Structure 1
Amino acid sequence: MNVQTILSAKGSDVATIDPAATLADAVSTLRERGFGALVASADGTSLDGIVSERDIVRSLAVDGPAALDTTVSTVMSVEVITCRSSDRIESLMSMMTERRIRHLPVVDDGGAISGMISIGDVVKFRLQQLEQENSQLHDYIQGNVG
Protein backbone atom coordinates (compact mmCIF):
# COMPACT_ATOMS: atom_id res chain seq x y z
CA MET A 1 0.00 0.00 0.00
CA ASN A 2 1.15 3.52 -0.74
CA VAL A 3 0.43 7.16 0.07
CA GLN A 4 -2.08 7.42 -2.78
CA THR A 5 -4.21 4.78 -1.03
CA ILE A 6 -4.54 7.06 2.00
CA LEU A 7 -5.12 10.18 -0.10
CA SER A 8 -7.86 8.38 -2.06
CA ALA A 9 -9.69 7.68 1.19
CA LYS A 10 -9.13 10.97 3.04
CA GLY A 11 -8.83 13.40 0.16
CA SER A 12 -5.99 15.60 -0.96
CA ASP A 13 -7.08 18.80 0.75
CA VAL A 14 -4.07 20.79 1.95
CA ALA A 15 -4.34 23.79 4.23
CA THR A 16 -1.90 26.45 3.11
CA ILE A 17 -0.92 29.83 4.46
CA ASP A 18 1.14 32.62 2.98
CA PRO A 19 4.56 32.90 4.67
CA ALA A 20 3.86 36.64 5.10
CA ALA A 21 0.73 35.93 7.19
CA THR A 22 0.91 36.41 10.95
CA LEU A 23 1.08 33.62 13.48
CA ALA A 24 -2.33 34.81 14.68
CA ASP A 25 -3.65 34.04 11.19
CA ALA A 26 -1.98 30.62 11.32
CA VAL A 27 -3.54 29.86 14.72
CA SER A 28 -6.95 30.83 13.39
CA THR A 29 -6.56 28.67 10.28
CA LEU A 30 -5.34 25.69 12.30
CA ARG A 31 -8.37 25.98 14.60
CA GLU A 32 -10.87 26.42 11.77
CA ARG A 33 -9.49 23.54 9.70
CA GLY A 34 -8.74 21.20 12.60
CA PHE A 35 -5.23 20.49 11.31
CA GLY A 36 -1.94 20.34 13.21
CA ALA A 37 0.20 21.94 10.51
CA LEU A 38 -0.07 24.25 7.54
CA VAL A 39 1.95 24.27 4.36
CA ALA A 40 3.50 27.68 3.88
CA SER A 41 3.05 28.65 0.26
CA ALA A 42 3.01 32.07 -1.33
CA ASP A 43 1.15 30.82 -4.41
CA GLY A 44 -0.88 27.93 -2.94
CA THR A 45 0.89 25.26 -4.99
CA SER A 46 4.62 25.49 -4.27
CA LEU A 47 6.14 24.41 -0.97
CA ASP A 48 7.91 27.27 0.80
CA GLY A 49 7.86 25.69 4.25
CA ILE A 50 5.67 24.15 6.93
CA VAL A 51 4.45 25.58 10.22
CA SER A 52 3.08 23.37 12.97
CA GLU A 53 1.32 23.91 16.26
CA ARG A 54 4.62 23.03 17.92
CA ASP A 55 6.44 25.81 16.03
CA ILE A 56 3.86 28.34 17.19
CA VAL A 57 3.98 27.17 20.82
CA ARG A 58 7.77 27.45 20.84
CA SER A 59 7.54 31.00 19.50
CA LEU A 60 4.96 31.90 22.13
CA ALA A 61 7.19 30.47 24.86
CA VAL A 62 10.04 32.74 23.78
CA ASP A 63 8.23 35.93 22.76
CA GLY A 64 4.92 35.73 24.61
CA PRO A 65 1.77 37.16 23.02
CA ALA A 66 3.86 39.42 20.76
CA ALA A 67 4.77 36.29 18.79
CA LEU A 68 1.28 36.30 17.29
CA ASP A 69 2.17 39.46 15.37
CA THR A 70 5.24 37.91 13.73
CA THR A 71 5.09 36.26 10.33
CA VAL A 72 4.83 32.58 9.58
CA SER A 73 8.15 32.81 7.73
CA THR A 74 9.96 33.56 10.99
CA VAL A 75 9.01 30.24 12.60
CA MET A 76 8.29 27.85 9.72
CA SER A 77 10.61 25.01 8.82
CA VAL A 78 12.06 25.60 5.37
CA GLU A 79 13.85 22.27 5.00
CA VAL A 80 10.68 20.26 4.66
CA ILE A 81 10.73 16.51 4.39
CA THR A 82 8.17 15.41 1.83
CA CYS A 83 6.83 12.23 0.32
CA ARG A 84 5.36 11.17 -2.99
CA SER A 85 2.04 9.47 -3.69
CA SER A 86 3.91 6.31 -4.73
CA ASP A 87 5.81 5.99 -1.41
CA ARG A 88 4.98 2.92 0.64
CA ILE A 89 3.17 3.32 3.97
CA GLU A 90 5.84 1.28 5.78
CA SER A 91 8.56 3.71 4.69
CA LEU A 92 6.45 6.65 5.92
CA MET A 93 6.01 5.02 9.31
CA SER A 94 9.77 4.56 9.64
CA MET A 95 10.59 8.06 8.42
CA MET A 96 8.04 9.76 10.65
CA THR A 97 9.18 7.79 13.70
CA GLU A 98 12.92 8.21 13.14
CA ARG A 99 12.71 11.91 12.33
CA ARG A 100 9.93 12.67 14.83
CA ILE A 101 7.73 14.23 12.15
CA ARG A 102 3.94 14.33 12.43
CA HIS A 103 3.11 15.82 9.02
CA LEU A 104 4.45 15.11 5.56
CA PRO A 105 3.44 17.17 2.55
CA VAL A 106 2.91 15.06 -0.55
CA VAL A 107 4.47 16.54 -3.66
CA ASP A 108 4.30 15.55 -7.30
CA ASP A 109 7.26 15.15 -9.64
CA GLY A 110 7.27 18.89 -10.31
CA GLY A 111 7.37 19.73 -6.61
CA ALA A 112 3.76 20.96 -6.43
CA ILE A 113 1.78 20.15 -3.30
CA SER A 114 -0.70 17.33 -3.92
CA GLY A 115 -1.71 16.34 -0.38
CA MET A 116 -0.74 16.08 3.27
CA ILE A 117 -0.27 12.93 5.34
CA SER A 118 -0.29 13.02 9.14
CA ILE A 119 0.87 10.38 11.55
CA GLY A 120 -2.80 10.00 12.50
CA ASP A 121 -3.66 9.16 8.88
CA VAL A 122 -0.93 6.52 8.79
CA VAL A 123 -1.98 4.96 12.11
CA LYS A 124 -5.65 4.92 11.11
CA PHE A 125 -4.83 3.26 7.80
CA ARG A 126 -2.54 0.69 9.44
CA LEU A 127 -5.19 -0.17 12.07
CA GLN A 128 -7.73 -0.74 9.30
CA GLN A 129 -5.26 -3.05 7.56
CA LEU A 130 -4.65 -5.03 10.75
CA GLU A 131 -8.38 -5.34 11.47
CA GLN A 132 -8.98 -6.63 7.95
CA GLU A 133 -6.13 -9.16 8.25
CA ASN A 134 -7.43 -10.27 11.65
CA SER A 135 -10.91 -10.78 10.24
CA GLN A 136 -9.56 -12.78 7.30
CA LEU A 137 -7.48 -14.99 9.60
CA HIS A 138 -10.46 -15.51 11.90
CA ASP A 139 -12.63 -16.55 8.94
CA TYR A 140 -9.90 -18.88 7.70
CA ILE A 141 -9.52 -20.55 11.11
CA GLN A 142 -13.29 -20.90 11.44
CA GLY A 143 -13.49 -22.46 7.99
CA ASN A 144 -15.51 -19.60 6.56
CA VAL A 145 -13.40 -19.30 3.46
CA GLY A 146 -15.56 -19.58 0.40
Structure 2
Amino acid sequence: MRINDVLKAKPSHDIFTISPDATVRELIALLSEHNVGALVVSGDGTSVDGIVSERDVVRRLHDDAQVLDRPVGSIMTAEVRTCEGSQALTELMQVMTEHRIRHVPVVTDGNLVGIISIGDLVKHRIDELEFERDQLDNYVHRT
Protein backbone atom coordinates (compact mmCIF):
# COMPACT_ATOMS: atom_id res chain seq x y z
CA MET A 1 0.00 0.00 0.00
CA ARG A 2 1.07 3.53 -0.76
CA ILE A 3 0.44 6.86 0.94
CA ASN A 4 -1.68 8.00 -2.02
CA ASP A 5 -4.07 5.11 -1.27
CA VAL A 6 -4.67 6.51 2.21
CA LEU A 7 -5.09 10.06 0.90
CA LYS A 8 -7.72 8.91 -1.62
CA ALA A 9 -9.65 7.05 1.10
CA LYS A 10 -9.83 10.06 3.43
CA PRO A 11 -13.37 11.48 3.68
CA SER A 12 -12.08 14.99 3.07
CA HIS A 13 -9.33 16.10 0.73
CA ASP A 14 -9.12 19.57 2.26
CA ILE A 15 -5.66 20.71 3.31
CA PHE A 16 -5.67 23.27 6.08
CA THR A 17 -2.71 25.61 6.42
CA ILE A 18 -1.90 28.63 8.51
CA SER A 19 0.43 31.55 7.90
CA PRO A 20 3.52 31.81 10.10
CA ASP A 21 2.38 35.36 10.93
CA ALA A 22 -1.03 34.26 12.29
CA THR A 23 -1.36 34.23 16.06
CA VAL A 24 -1.43 31.10 18.16
CA ARG A 25 -4.95 32.15 19.17
CA GLU A 26 -5.98 31.98 15.48
CA LEU A 27 -4.27 28.59 15.24
CA ILE A 28 -6.34 27.22 18.12
CA ALA A 29 -9.52 28.48 16.47
CA LEU A 30 -8.63 26.72 13.19
CA LEU A 31 -7.67 23.48 14.92
CA SER A 32 -11.03 23.50 16.68
CA GLU A 33 -13.04 24.58 13.61
CA HIS A 34 -11.60 21.83 11.41
CA ASN A 35 -11.31 19.24 14.22
CA VAL A 36 -7.67 18.47 13.39
CA GLY A 37 -4.60 18.02 15.57
CA ALA A 38 -2.07 19.92 13.45
CA LEU A 39 -1.78 22.43 10.63
CA VAL A 40 0.89 22.89 8.03
CA VAL A 41 2.49 26.32 8.30
CA SER A 42 2.72 27.87 4.86
CA GLY A 43 3.22 31.41 3.65
CA ASP A 44 1.70 30.65 0.25
CA GLY A 45 -0.59 27.67 0.90
CA THR A 46 1.48 25.25 -1.21
CA SER A 47 4.95 25.17 0.37
CA VAL A 48 5.75 23.60 3.74
CA ASP A 49 7.40 26.18 5.99
CA GLY A 50 6.65 24.26 9.17
CA ILE A 51 4.07 22.29 11.10
CA VAL A 52 2.32 23.14 14.35
CA SER A 53 0.22 20.89 16.56
CA GLU A 54 -1.95 20.99 19.65
CA ARG A 55 0.99 19.53 21.51
CA ASP A 56 3.18 22.50 20.50
CA VAL A 57 0.60 24.90 21.90
CA VAL A 58 0.24 23.05 25.19
CA ARG A 59 4.00 22.83 25.74
CA ARG A 60 4.49 26.55 25.10
CA LEU A 61 1.41 27.63 27.06
CA HIS A 62 2.73 25.87 30.14
CA ASP A 63 5.86 28.08 30.07
CA ASP A 64 4.37 31.31 28.72
CA ALA A 65 0.73 32.37 29.12
CA GLN A 66 1.29 35.14 26.56
CA VAL A 67 2.01 32.64 23.78
CA LEU A 68 -1.57 32.96 22.50
CA ASP A 69 -0.77 36.39 21.06
CA ARG A 70 2.56 35.38 19.53
CA PRO A 71 2.97 34.32 15.89
CA VAL A 72 2.62 30.67 14.93
CA GLY A 73 6.11 30.86 13.44
CA SER A 74 7.52 31.22 16.95
CA ILE A 75 6.23 27.81 18.08
CA MET A 76 6.16 25.76 14.87
CA THR A 77 8.50 22.92 14.05
CA ALA A 78 10.57 24.25 11.15
CA GLU A 79 12.38 21.03 10.26
CA VAL A 80 9.43 19.08 8.94
CA ARG A 81 9.52 15.45 7.95
CA THR A 82 7.53 15.09 4.75
CA CYS A 83 6.68 12.17 2.53
CA GLU A 84 5.66 11.56 -1.06
CA GLY A 85 2.45 9.89 -2.13
CA SER A 86 4.31 7.07 -3.84
CA GLN A 87 6.04 5.98 -0.62
CA ALA A 88 5.06 2.75 1.12
CA LEU A 89 2.90 3.02 4.22
CA THR A 90 5.25 0.82 6.20
CA GLU A 91 8.07 3.28 5.57
CA LEU A 92 5.95 6.19 6.84
CA MET A 93 4.82 4.23 9.89
CA GLN A 94 8.45 3.55 10.76
CA VAL A 95 9.36 7.25 10.44
CA MET A 96 6.38 8.32 12.57
CA THR A 97 7.26 5.77 15.24
CA GLU A 98 11.00 6.52 15.31
CA HIS A 99 10.53 10.29 15.49
CA ARG A 100 7.38 10.25 17.63
CA ILE A 101 5.38 12.38 15.21
CA ARG A 102 1.67 12.20 14.55
CA HIS A 103 1.27 14.26 11.38
CA VAL A 104 3.29 14.23 8.16
CA PRO A 105 2.70 16.54 5.19
CA VAL A 106 2.58 14.83 1.79
CA VAL A 107 4.39 16.70 -0.99
CA THR A 108 4.73 16.26 -4.72
CA ASP A 109 7.40 18.25 -6.55
CA GLY A 110 7.81 20.42 -3.44
CA ASN A 111 4.10 21.29 -3.25
CA LEU A 112 1.79 20.32 -0.42
CA VAL A 113 -0.83 17.80 -1.61
CA GLY A 114 -2.10 16.39 1.69
CA ILE A 115 -1.38 15.48 5.27
CA ILE A 116 -1.37 12.04 6.86
CA SER A 117 -2.05 11.54 10.55
CA ILE A 118 -1.38 8.51 12.68
CA GLY A 119 -5.15 8.17 12.95
CA ASP A 120 -5.42 7.94 9.15
CA LEU A 121 -2.88 5.12 9.14
CA VAL A 122 -4.58 3.23 11.95
CA LYS A 123 -7.99 3.54 10.26
CA HIS A 124 -6.54 2.34 6.96
CA ARG A 125 -4.87 -0.64 8.63
CA ILE A 126 -8.07 -1.60 10.50
CA ASP A 127 -10.01 -1.44 7.21
CA GLU A 128 -7.42 -3.73 5.60
CA LEU A 129 -7.62 -6.24 8.45
CA GLU A 130 -11.43 -6.25 8.40
CA PHE A 131 -11.40 -6.87 4.65
CA GLU A 132 -8.98 -9.78 5.07
CA ARG A 133 -11.08 -11.21 7.89
CA ASP A 134 -14.24 -11.00 5.77
CA GLN A 135 -12.48 -12.69 2.85
CA LEU A 136 -11.28 -15.52 5.06
CA ASP A 137 -14.70 -15.87 6.66
CA ASN A 138 -16.35 -16.08 3.25
CA TYR A 139 -13.83 -18.67 2.10
CA VAL A 140 -14.30 -20.85 5.18
CA HIS A 141 -18.10 -20.74 5.02
CA ARG A 142 -18.30 -21.49 1.30
CA THR A 143 -16.55 -24.82 1.58
Question: TM-score, normalised to structure 2's length?
Answer: 0.95
Deviates more, 1:11-20 or 1:38-47: 11-20
- 8 A contact 1:39–1:49 mirrored in 2: yes
Aligned length: 142
Is structure 2 residue 16 aligned with structure 1 residue 9? no
Equivalent position amino acid for 1:115 in 2? G
- 8 A contact 1:13–1:116 mirrored in 2: no
2:40 counterpart residue number: 39
1:2-81 alignment, distance < 5 Å:
2-10=2-10, 11-64=12-65, 66-81=66-81
CA shift, 1:6, in A, is: 1.1
Q: Deviations over 1:3-57 (max 9, x none)?
A: 1111111143211000011000000000001010000001111110000000011
1:129 counterpart residue number: 128
Q: Secondary structure at the match of 2:64?
A: helix
1:115 counterpart residue number: 114
> For residues 95 and 136 of structure 1, what CA distance do their matches in structure 2 show?
31
> For residues 135 and 53 of structure 1, what CA distance do their matches in structure 2 show?
37
- 8 A contact 1:84–1:106 mirrored in 2: yes
Question: TM-score, normalised to structure 1's length?
Answer: 0.94
CA shift, 1:142, in A, is: 2.0
Q: Deviations over 1:58-100 (max 9, x none)?
A: 1100101x11011101000010001111111111211111111
> For residues 89 and 41 of structure 1, what CA distance do their matches in structure 2 show?
25
